[in-house]
Chain A
Amino acid sequence: MSYISFAVLTLVYMELSMRVVTAPICAYGQAGCHAPSLADLFERVIQQSSRMHGISSDLHSELEQYFFPRKNVLGKHKCHTYGILTPDDKENAQRLGREQLTDVILSLLAAWSDPLSQLHRSMSQDQNQNFNDHSYSKALEISDMVHELREGVAIMAEKMKLLGVLGNTMGYISPESLVPSSAFTFYKQGELNSVDHHDLLYCFRRDSNKVKNYLQILKCTILPGLDC
């Protein structure tokens, strides 16, 4: 009995002394919030983008395995985000500057919100039942992640602007202006066939990789440190 009471007392004491306090994270450092540092933000964003890219790669490889023995992707098609100018090598990316790089990231992310939702909707409505449960969940996940990542990067940009890291020359360019309106015609409204799914995923896979890479460059440019 004495042992039990002693254990209970110890637990109660520990409970009281080591109370974990939760504090909301505010991007803008309002009063009462525990504002995360830029490094933390970058860390989270980069992790998220990396995860997003991984899921899209898996999804793409699944589709490719089941449906497309051919290696030639896209054929003559283009990704609907071809309008967004993205640096295609290191020098170009470094030459672009951090503000523009941030814009590009945000544009890309914005351009993919809708198509991914469509993809998910289309996959669930697929008559052929070609997709298993994992594919459905992955499609849903990446569509959500795009949204979250976009918001996160926006917050981070704001913080950077606040910190003076990022200049104010960058304006928030609406993604719709970059993306041609006909982009959506790339992917048929309504029913998307499996070919469309595959093309869509191929494009998204590449764009998520770009986003991740750009973010990493941005991070190492703004916060040179251990990981760079």
Chain B
Amino acid sequence: MMKKAVELVLLLLLLFFTPHIMGKRYSPPGKPTLTRCRSPEKETFTCWWEPGSDGGLPTTHALYYRKESSERVYECPDYHTAGENSCFFNKNDTSIWVNYNITVVATNTLGSAFSDPVDVDVVYIVKPNPPEKQTVTIMEDKGWPFLRVSWEPPQKADTRSGWITLIYELRVKLEEENEWEMHLAGHQKTFNIFSLRSGGKYLVEVRCKPDHGFWSEWSSTSYIKVPDYFHREKSVWILLTIFSAFIFLILTWLLHMNSRSLKNCILPPVPGPKIKGFDNQLLKNGKSDEIFSALMVSNFPPTTSSNYEDLLVEYLEVYVPVEQELMQEESKDLHGGCLKCERSTSDSDSGRGSCDSHTLLMDKCGETKEEGRHTDRASSRMLTEAQRHQKGWEKDTLTYAHGDMVSPDMSNGRVKTWPSVFSPLPQYSSNPLDKQSSLEMAKQHCLSTSSCLTQPGHSTKEALGPSNWDFCLGNKQPHLLHPQTQVGRQLQAHSEVNISNIGRKQAPAGLQSPALRSTEYVEVQRVNEEDLVLLQPVVSGCGRIEGYPQMPKGKDYSKVKGVDSDNMLLLQREVMEEDWCPGVDQEINGGTGNCYTSSTVNTTQKPTACIHTAMPVQGDMALAMNGYVDTATMCTLPTC
């Protein structure tokens, strides 16, 4: 029995131990470590340890301590109060300013393990509890709110007796922020926080620390909402902003009002050319004609000049074709703008177009005046016009010439005419003072007409010789131009004599034969806008200016009687009819009375009726201008 029992026991033991031996390795416990010891009020303290590996066996831990300068070892009085793996030292076991040497021992069946000893002086391990009874209130200081935070020290810490002295610290933040704002409060138990954001929600926390120890944990958070107090703060700013904006607007408006004067002050304008009538814009556009026409002053050339005689002279344009240079030279001498007319005509073609003796002369005068300003352009223009018309005219003239022209002059197709037929402008008769001006006008007309009259050199013309002039025929009426060779020569000679600069190609032979009789005479009806002198054969009736060209019926024609000593072209109207249309008395010189005289002298043969009627007109004319007679107007007189 006994043996059986012993065997059973052995078997059981074997059974018990084999699995353990086979499966696991048992070992003595690992070394525990004392993690920390803390005292909340410097009267008690607690130590915690961390156990090591248990070695697979249940292990027990024990804490042993030894007080300073004593060899006696004590064991931990309380393992449970402070929780697991802890040792709590109560008041009786706690001595301040005494060095504790603490060791933890882990024990299991296989062995035990000792932790490293730790020296602890309670004074230096004090970590109080967080402050209690924390309150946050909003108070006002002269209208500005601030937070007042107050708290109580932790209950366990006896600060009342002076056993522990604590210093406090609090932290504040807005609800939406992440960063806390720290404030050290020292020994005091209240604290004020200023510079709050109106309407903000704040969080406040407090903690404490003994003189030499550890900081407590943060207290529970207190929430506080600051009321809105922006009225006083922002209203002032709003007022300031409005006021400054208002002032700014006023300043801007003032600047805008005075921007020009300011601009002139800061950036004075660059002075430009100050030519009266000069338009920069036109110059930019490149139309020189308009520019210079704008520059034309109504008074220019000055009517008070006493050189109208010269002007007159230059009016006397009787021209031989071919001489483009001649025309140019003539034009050079002229003061007025009429010069240009000639120039243009001298180029290649005389300004041809409808020459209307009535109104055209006046118009022409204005035009030529303007054109006179231009040196080349006007002439070129007239040239162009002349060229344009020339071809048409040429045909006409040719037809005429071949058909009707008796004069050999016309064989070329050119019409020579009496260039002296210039109708006086109505305005001329108005005022004797206007003589000069009228002279100018007439001159211009003359120029124009002469330009019209003259044909630029053509091959055909040249063949004729220098004594030929050409009349330009108007569009309307291809007048039959009757060449007056003699007259032409005379006139030409005259002009040649009087115009010094003009280089005449033709020999001044024509001068000597003033009494040449041409076959037919033509009177200038008008000068059209193209500076073409319209010629019309002088017919019996005075009022036939506008009429269709009438064949030479042996009517009266103005013809040059001769040139007197004064370089005056004396015109003579051949009295072939009763009607008399006084010819235009051309004066190369500027003698006013000469014209008149000459005309009257020349027109002795005229019928009285016409004379009568013509006289006043003539007188007017004479008054108005120098020697120009507007046959057209005369002819239109009812009495005639």
Contacts and interface: CB of A to CB of B under 8 A. Distances in A.
A209 B212 contact: yes
Interface string A42-74: 000000001001000100000000000001111
A79 B460 CA distance: 154
A90 B119 contact: no
Nearest to A206: B97
Interface in B133-148: none
Interface residues of B, number: 27
B162 A88 contact: no
Interface residues of A, number: 31
A221 interface: yes
A130 interface: no
A89 B91 contact: yes
B123 A94 contact: no
A88 B161 contact: no
A72 to B, nearest CB: 6
A120 interface: no
Interface stretch (A144-152, A154-162, A171-179, A211-219): A211-219
B97 A217 contact: no
A217 B319 CA distance: 145
A220 interface: yes
Interface in A75-99: 76, 78, 82, 86, 88-91, 93-94
Contacts of A94: 161
Contact of B159 (A53, A72, A218, A228): A228
Given A221-B162, A228-B162, A74 B99 contact: yes
B91 A221 contact: no
Interface string B23-51: 00000000000000000001100000000
Contacts, number: 64
A210 interface: yes
B99 A86 contact: no
Interface in B317-364: none
Contact of A90 (B117, B123, B158): B158
B162 A86 contact: no
A218 B165 CA distance: 13
A227 interface: yes
A227 B98 contact: no
A89 B95 contact: yes
Contact of B212 (A57, A78, A224, A228): A57
A227 B153 CA distance: 11
B121 interface: yes
A227 B188 CA distance: 8
B69 A78 contact: yes
B160 interface: yes
B185 interface: no
A57 B211 CA distance: 12
B94 A89 contact: yes
A224 B94 CA distance: 27
Contact of A227 (B43, B96, B187): B187
Interface of B: 42-43, 68-69, 91, 94-99, 101, 117-119, 121, 123, 158-163, 165, 187, 211-212
17 contacts: A72-B101, A73-B99, A88-B96, A89-B43, A89-B91, A90-B43, A90-B158, A90-B161, A94-B161, A209-B97, A209-B123, A209-B212, A213-B162, A219-B162, A227-B165, A228-B160, A228-B161
Q: Which 4 A-B pairs have the closest CB atoms?
A: A220-B162, A216-B162, A217-B162, A88-B95
